[in-house]
Chain A
């Protein structure tokens, strides 16, 4: 990264600290959605400002009434982004598996962001269907990034099934509520040691992304926080800095919290002693 601060050679650049998902390395730890931007140019400018290398797309039926909808896939590919298709909108394992297989054929990728939701009010995952779909897709050779509840048991099961990344929600999709249960996210980090963990959903602003990374998460996936910000490109840049900052703080190791003050200036030789 060109803007790295190298004060004494000890500050690693982002490229020395890649996010590894399956057999792919990404220098950016931010995965970004492509929906809800004011227009395609703002989307492209915002994606560039995030520094992301991996962007999500949805798989939808071609509209029989209004065929040949405008696709932005070519724009994304020209931008050099790797495409992460999702199974958003699927309610059953069977639907999600079919959508994943269609996505693999349409986009020539084994990557899949697996979402199997229980209802469209909460968009919370249906755990039973999610685990079923994850097993089928891992067995079928997919690199599965699984959107999950912030439940340590479910997340551990997804990791044990062989998912390439487990992605617990911070709060409901598109809610911008941030990390509503950071304690669960901490436990998940402790029980899922060897599989990349990504906070997916609920990020509202930069501090949420910093917190996720400080908790030891490997990355952040977001969409609405940037796309619906008043100034999407500025928020995109803020998110990039937040993820990098949180990652560095995590690696640096924070000081323990103390209840009482501890003077940072020397206590010896104070005037009046």
Chain B
């Protein structure tokens, strides 16, 4: 990561520590997880324990130390 010229910031995505470029869009995080916001059903996002409404996804960028949770409905009892 030291070779990249862009300043990178630490974040946590679904419990995993990652570094991303400053100002990394939430939509890019979703794309990394192969989630297409137009198609995905049963998906929701929280940053720092606050749910981000779907209509706001496009406006959100990550800040240093953000904790992102991206969940999906799955079979369960």
Residues of B within 8 A of A106 (CB): 42-44, 71-73
Residue of B nearest to A34 (CB): B75
Query: Are B42 and A107 neighbours in the complex by a CB distance under 8 Å?
Result: yes
Query: Are B76 and A56 neighbours in the complex by a CB distance under 8 Å?
Result: yes
* Complex: A271 Cα to B10 Cα, angstroms: 95
* Complex: A234 Cα to B44 Cα, angstroms: 36
Residues of A within 8 A of B60 (CB): none
Interface residue A57 (Cβ < 8 Å from any Cβ of B)? yes
Q: With A102-B71, A106-B42 as known contacts, state yes or no: A68 contacts B33, CB within 8 Å.
A: yes
Within 8 A of B (CB), among A85-104: 85-86, 88, 94, 98-99, 101-104
Residue of A nearest to B76 (CB): A58
Residues of A within 8 A of B71 (CB): 59-62, 99, 102-103, 106
Interface core residue of B15, B33, B71 (most chain A CB under 10 Å): B71
Which residues on A are within 8 Å of B, measured CB to CB?
Answer: 33-37, 43, 56-64, 67-69, 71-74, 77, 83, 85-86, 88, 94, 98-99, 101-107, 173-174, 223-224
Residues of B within 8 A of A57 (CB): 42, 73-76
Q: With A62-B14, A102-B51, A106-B43 as known contacts, state yes or no: A223 contacts B77, CB within 8 Å.
A: yes
Query: Are A71 and B72 neighbours in the complex by a CB distance under 8 Å?
Result: yes
Query: Are A103 and B69 neighbours in the complex by a CB distance under 8 Å?
Result: no
Within 8 A of A (CB), among B25-73: 32-35, 41-46, 49, 51, 53-54, 69-73
**Residue count of chain B within 8 Å CB distance of chain A:** 27
Cross-interface CB contact of B72 among A69, A83, A174, cutoff 8 Å? A69
Interface residue B6 (Cβ < 8 Å from any Cβ of A)? no
Q: With A62-B33, A106-B71 as known contacts, state yes or no: A35 contacts B76, CB within 8 Å.
A: yes
Shortest CB–CB separation between residue A176 and chain B, in angstroms?
13
* Complex: A85 Cα to B42 Cα, angstroms: 10
Cross-interface CB contact of B69 among A71, A98, A107, cutoff 8 Å? A98
Residues of A within 8 A of B75 (CB): 33-37, 43, 57-58, 72
Shortest CB–CB separation between residue B11 and chain A, in angstroms?
12
Query: Are A64 and B33 neighbours in the complex by a CB distance under 8 Å?
Result: yes
Residues of A within 8 A of B69 (CB): 61, 98, 102
Interface residue B9 (Cβ < 8 Å from any Cβ of A)? no
Pairs of residues from A and B, 8 with the lowest C-beta to C-beta distance, nearest first: A58-B76, A33-B77, A223-B77, A106-B44, A105-B44, A67-B33, A67-B34, A61-B14
Residues of B within 8 A of A224 (CB): 77
Q: With A62-B33, A64-B14, A98-B49 as known contacts, state yes or no: A71 contacts B41, CB within 8 Å.
A: yes
